[in-house]
């Protein structure tokens, strides 16, 4: 069994990343299709660089993702704090279920629901509607990431802070929020990836020429995939890889700074 472990893991990761690697490989194709490699070239990258519409969409997608996850993190954290303070079991259960329903219901339903809402309110579809719907579907994610941290927190910490003279806002700012920060950060990043990923909801509520990357790639793919998309995907893939690595190193450095003695002992 032990002998099989390494080959199995290598095989697994190959299978999982093969489609992406395939896509990356053809982004350097001198030809215009993914059938047959005609030679190495950066031609699709330079095309991408000149495609100002696509670059704008990338930037807009980024803005929507950052803004929506930031606002969702604030609202979601406050929501988690509020749910945590509810003492009646039944009410707490109902609130949590309502939160989870939003998480598990299909994107298509959520998208359709928002479309109906926005048209009823006579909001013109575009940046604002996309932003609002992204905030809405990100909030439950943040709540779900923050709540466990609150439950893990020693409730006496709040009592101790009060005992030492802290007013409720000071307890929140100086004790509760710092203690649950890892959950808040995780919630923010989850919301960010959900927003960047989202296709279905955005597809419903976008309009007036506003588009996000997922929707744009979809509409272009229908007209036959240009290798420009491969080039863009490669860049995004590299960016995600860089973020993942950065996150890993930040975590490692953070932990080392906190427990210097333990590290020394391990050495």
Partner 1 sequence: MVETQPILEFSQVALSFGETEVLKQIDLALEPGKFYTLLGPSGSGKSTILKLISGQLHADSGQIFFEGQVINDVPAEKRRVNTVFQNYSLFPNMNVFDNVAFGPRLKKLPAGEIETKVKEMLALVKLAGYENREISELSGGQQQRVAIARALANDPEVLLLDEPLSALDYKLRKDLQQELRRIQKRLDITFVFVTHDQEEALAMSDWIFVMNDGLIQQNGTPEDIYDEPINHFVADFIGETNIVPGIMKEDYLVHFVGKDFENVDAGMRPNERVEVVLRPEDLDLTDPENGKLVVTIKDQSFRGDYYEITAMDDDLNTWQVQATNPAEVGARVGLTFDPEDIHIMRYNESEEAFDARLESYDEEEAEAALQAARDDETGREEQGQ
Q: How far is the CB of 32 from partner 1 (least distance, A)?
A: 56
Query: Which residue, 61 or 176, has its beta carbon nearer to partner 1?
Result: 176
Q: Which 126-145 residues touch partner 1, going by CB under 8 A?
A: none
Query: Which residue, 158 or 200, has its beta carbon nearer to partner 1?
Result: 158
- Interaction of residue 119 with partner 1, rule CB under 8 A: no
Q: Which 47-106 residues touch partner 1, going by CB under 8 A?
A: none
Q: How far is the CB of 241 from partner 1 (least distance, A)?
A: 31
Element housing 87 (H / E): none
* Main-chain phi, psi angles of 29, to 5 degrees: -75, 135
Distances, alpha carbon 79 to alpha carbons 145, 146, 152, 195, in Å: 12, 9, 17, 19
Instruction: Tell me if 256 sits within 8 A of 75, measured CB to CB.
Output: no
Query: Which residue, 208 or 259, has its beta carbon nearer to partner 1?
Result: 259
3-state helix, strand, coil in the chain (%, to 5): 80, 0, 20
- Interaction of residue 157 with partner 1, rule CB under 8 A: yes
Distance separating alpha carbons of residues 135 and 138, to the nearest angstrom: 5
- Interaction of residue 178 with partner 1, rule CB under 8 A: yes
Instruction: Tell me if 139 sits within 8 A of 76, measured CB to CB.
Output: yes
- Interaction of residue 161 with partner 1, rule CB under 8 A: yes
Window contacting partner 1 (CB under 8 A); options: 46-54, 153-161, 188-196, 225-233? 153-161
The only residue of 162, 193, 226, 233 in contact with partner 1, by rule CB under 8 A: 162
Collapsing DSSP states into helix, strand and coil, what is residue 68? helix
- Give the HSE-up count for residue 62: Cα atoms under 13 Å, Cβ half-sphere: 9
Structure-token pair, residue 127: 């940046």
- Interaction of residue 24 with partner 1, rule CB under 8 A: no
- Interaction of residue 224 with partner 1, rule CB under 8 A: no
The only residue of 20, 30, 164, 246 in contact with partner 1, by rule CB under 8 A: 164
Q: How far is the CB of 121 from partner 1 (least distance, A)?
A: 42
> Using CA atoms in the order 106, 108, 111, 114, what is the torsion angle rounded to 10 degrees?
-80
Best CA proximity match to 24, nearest among 235, 215, 265? 235
Query: Which residue, 32 or 259, has its beta carbon nearer to partner 1?
Result: 259
Question: How many chain residues interact with partner 1 (CB under 8 A)?
Answer: 22
- Interaction of residue 170 with partner 1, rule CB under 8 A: yes
Euclidean distance between the first and final Cα of the chain, in Å? 31
- Interaction of residue 185 with partner 1, rule CB under 8 A: no
Provide the 10 A C-beta neighbour count for residue 134.
Answer: 27
Query: Which residue, 1 or 257, has its beta carbon nearer to partner 1?
Result: 257
- Interaction of residue 258 with partner 1, rule CB under 8 A: yes
- Please give the full DSSP string across 192-219, using - where no structure is assigned: HHHHHH--HHHHHH--TT---HHHHHHH
The binding site for partner 1 (CB under 8 A) comprises 154, 156-157, 159-167, 170, 174-175, 178-179, 181, 258-259, 261-262
């Amino acid at each position: 069994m032990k002998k099989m472990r390494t080959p199995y893991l290598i095989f697994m990761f190959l299978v999982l990343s093969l489609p992406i690697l395939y896509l990356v490989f053809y982004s350097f194709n001198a030809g215009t299709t993914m059938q047959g490699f005609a030679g190495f070239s950066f031609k699709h990258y330079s095309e991408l660089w000149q495609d100002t519409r696509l670059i704008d969409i990338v930037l807009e997608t980024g803005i929507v993702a950052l803004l929506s996850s930031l606002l969702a993190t604030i609202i979601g954290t406050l929501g988690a704090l509020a749910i945590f303070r509810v003492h009646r079991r039944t009410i707490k259960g109902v609130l949590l279920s309502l939160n989870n329903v939003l998480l598990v219901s299909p994107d298509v339903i959520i998208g359709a629901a928002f479309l109906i809402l926005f048209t009823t309110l006579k909001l013109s579809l575009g940046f604002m509607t996309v932003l609002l719907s992204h905030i809405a579907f990100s909030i439950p994610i943040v709540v779900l990431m923050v709540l466990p941290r609150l439950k893990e927190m020693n409730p006496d910490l709040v009592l101790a802070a009060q005992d030492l003279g802290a007013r409720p806002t000071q307890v929140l700012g100086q004790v509760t929020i710092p203690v649950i920060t890892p959950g808040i950060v995780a919630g923010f990043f989850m919301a960010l990836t959900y927003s960047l990923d989202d296709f279905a909801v955005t597809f419903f509520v976008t309009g007036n020429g506003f588009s996000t990357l997922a929707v744009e790639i979809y509409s272009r793919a229908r007209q036959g995939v240009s290798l420009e998309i491969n080039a863009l995907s490669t860049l995004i893939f590299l960016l995600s890889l860089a973020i993942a690595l950065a996150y890993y190193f930040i975590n490692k450095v953070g932990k080392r700074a906190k427990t210097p003695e333990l590290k020394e002992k391990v050495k």
